[in-house]
Amino acid sequence: MIAFDWQWAGPADPTAARLAQALAAGTGRAAGAASAERYQAAALLPFADQRRARGWAPVVVGPLLVLFAGHIDNAAEIAASLGCDYPGDRPDPALLARLYGAARLAWGDAADLRLIGEYAAILFEAEGQVLRLVRSPLRAPPLHVHRSGGRVIAASVPRAIFACGVPQRINAAKLADNALFNPGCDRTGWFEGLDYVPLGTALRIDPAGTTERRYYDLYSLPKVRLGSDAEYLEAAHGLLGEGTRAALRGARRPAIMLSGGLDSPQVAAKALAALPAGSQLHAFTFTPEPGWDGHVGAGQFGDERPVVEAFAAQHPGLVTHFEDNAGSGFDAGMAELFFATGSAAINQTNFSHFHALWRGARAAGCDVVLGADYGNFTFSAEGGWGFPEYLLRGRWRQLYLALRHAEDDGRSFLRRFLALCVLPFLPAPLWHWQRRVRGQPDIFAIASPLRADYARASGALDRARRAGQPVRRWPELGRSSEFELFQRNDHCDIMHGFEQIYGLPQRDPTAYRPFVEFCLGLPTELFLRDGQTRWLAREMARGIMPEAQRLEVRHGRHGADWHLKLTRRRSELLAEVERLAQNERLSAMIDFPKIRHALEDWPESGAIPVEERLLREGAIPRAVMLARYINHVEGHNQ
């Protein structure tokens, strides 16, 4: 993590020590600090020795002062191109900063397209009085920026900016949008006066103003067309293997978050193939808590343990660990993530199960955590956009087979055709009108904790409608909606928070940029073919996993034991809601009567209609999270 405070309008405040303390807080590591006439700089260091940290100084490459956070996957190639020393498999951050600075001097703005990795960088030219803030495409450590008068503060975490005396005030519009499941603009921060540097973007700041340059455009990626299925499969295997080897570089004891699906098992297989013979890969999987009612929705399965065990039987190097999160709930690790990220992303409660896995990886002595979060957007995308596309292109056989084998769809063939092939072409107002006429429930309104009158009065409802959020059209015309998912900051925030809390880096080979670009350029037939969804991932999985797993069309159900966990705490939550509702500000925003009714009218099991489930499983945890976040930031203790 990095931080930089530049004041060109007057002498810099002596804030370097505060910057360093804020970066290191909660991480168990030391941070270095340095001061000059007009700026302060700090960086989190890969050790805990405070005395050693006193010798830290920012890297200087030619006219550039460089702060760097993250990793460069093609560091060896870049070093060879520049004639620099290779920084090694597990480089000191200073060596990566030096390499990045050399790349910027050699290639200028083009450097960030040649570099492959996940990083955030701060570059300062003292002589020219120019500050540059850069984040890599697709995924990157967060980088927040505050600008006021003659001062700019940039930092990996908001708490470092507040340590410099900037007031900590929640951005009410961001909070309301988030509560309606609208991620909003990718540069809007959680606090007034703080913005994100967007992914794939460089900011140039000087005393005259700020220039933003989006140097990476997912929408302009070239199409990928090869001669045969075999060539596509070979290329996909090769790039995923390349990304996995890059993710493992320097690791001695890797871990993986392993599910019973198609994505993470393939990353696990690639990792085992890349590790030295006889190596082990520690795999961590969460399961439902003992005593859960066994209920899941149509097209789902709740316990992934049998599937993972069958997969592990084919891969002897896999050491499995199962965590049932017994006794914990939706708020596990919530306060820690508030502190680490500064955010209250509405999907944060979905990650409560993962804390036990991260703790397990740390306890097992692992030094990197692999994931496959981007798998569903890359090689194992379902291909739902193929329905209207096949109609438009006259691919009648493919259209017929796709409709005939549509998963979990009990409608007549004609209704499937209208819903999946015709309705996507409707203009947005007509599409929403037909949903209202047919009485389709607004599942996001049900799961949202926001009061309806507050949503209207705050402008959140209008902003969501203008953005086409939160109800998304499915199927979409093309893959544009998936592209948008790559531009969101909330996932980067949460992953960065886990890294801070547990002291382990996380890598996702399915987010390896060459692999992502390859997958996003593929024809639709690689995803929806002959009525089979996720065709590419299933073909890649041949011989890697049991056939039952490879051909499974159901999805693993995260949080299948929600009813058990909430039932156990129902009285406690009712009491908390009563306390929170006494706060006028909270009660004006959060629909506590709705939450109270949902807790009082409690079902005997999770076997209830989806709308009722979303009210309880969705709205209750999110209402509590939102209220606790506000109290956390503002120092209340209701």
Residue 572 reports pLDDT greater than 90: yes
Ordered alpha helix ranges (H), 323-378:
334-341, 354-363
Ordered alpha helix ranges (H), 46-126:
50-53, 75-82, 93-107, 111-114
Are residues 187 and 232 part of one domain?
no
Q: In a 10 Å sphere around its CB, with 0-12 CB exposed, 13-18 middle and 19+ buried, how is residue 414 labelled?
A: exposed
Are residues 181 and 103 part of one domain?
yes
Residues facing residue 300 across a β-bridge: 555
d(C-alpha 248, C-alpha 147), whole Å: 38
Helix (H, G, I), strand (E, B) or coil at 140: coil
Question: Is the backbone peptide bond immediately before 198 cis, with ω within 30 degrees of 0?
Answer: no
- Side-chain half-sphere of 63: how many Cα atoms within 13 Å? 12
Are residues 240 and 209 part of one domain?
no
What CA–CA distances, in Å, run from 441 to 445, 446, 614, 621? 9, 8, 11, 20
Are residues 237 and 95 part of one domain?
no
In a domain? residue 207: yes
Q: Which domain holds residue 280?
A: 220-380+487-556
Are residues 340 and 273 part of one domain?
yes
d(C-alpha 76, C-alpha 84), whole Å: 9
**Residue from 264, 355, 280, 286 nearest 315 by CA:** 280
Within a 10 A sphere around the Cβ of 237, how many other Cβ atoms? 16
Query: What domain count does the chain have?
Result: 3
Are residues 245 and 120 part of one domain?
no
CATH code, domain carrying 352:
3.40.50.620
In a domain? residue 460: no
pLDDT attached to residue 90: 76
Average pLDDT, the chain: 93
Are residues 155 and 124 part of one domain?
yes
pLDDT attached to residue 482: 75
Convert the pLDDT of each residue in 140-158 to its tens digit: 999 999 999 899 999 999 9
What CA–CA distances, in Å, run from 311 to 260, 265, 333? 8, 8, 30
Residue 638 reports pLDDT greater than 60: no
In a domain? residue 481: no
Are residues 138 and 66 part of one domain?
yes
Are residues 316 and 208 part of one domain?
no
In a domain? residue 433: no
Residue 481 reports pLDDT greater than 80: no
Residue 14 reports pLDDT greater than 70: no
Q: Are 225 and 339 in contact (CB under 8 A)?
A: no
d(C-alpha 5, C-alpha 145), whole Å: 10
> 470 or 43: which carries more pLDDT confidence?
43
Helix (H) or strand (E) holding 524: none
d(C-alpha 309, C-alpha 324), whole Å: 15
548: left (phi over 0), alpha (psi -120 to 50) or beta: alpha
In a domain? residue 421: no
In a domain? residue 278: yes
pLDDT attached to residue 372: 96
Tokens for 31?
């941070």
Tokens for 361?
């990886």
Convert the pLDDT of each residue in 354-383 to its tens digit: 999 999 999 999 999 999 999 999 999 999
Residue 12 reports pLDDT greater than 70: no
Q: What one-character DSSP code corresponds to residue 450? A: B
Residue 438 reports pLDDT greater than 70: yes
| 603, amino acid identity | P
User: Which of 511, 533, 556 is at the close of a domain?
Assistant: 556
Convert the pLDDT of each residue in 528-555 to its tens digit: 999 999 999 999 999 999 999 999 999 8
pLDDT attached to residue 11: 64
How would you label 88-110 residue by residue, b for 16+ Cβ within 10 Å and e otherwise? eeebebbbbbbbbbbbbeebeee
d(C-alpha 178, C-alpha 349), whole Å: 13
d(C-alpha 566, C-alpha 560), whole Å: 12
pLDDT attached to residue 435: 85
- Rounded to 5 degrees, what are φ and ψ at 301? -135, 145
Residue 211 reports pLDDT greater than 90: yes
Q: Please, which residues have CB within 8 angstroms of residue 355's CB and are 6 or more apart in sequence? A: 328, 332, 333, 501
d(C-alpha 184, C-alpha 68), whole Å: 27
Region 615-625: mean pLDDT is 95
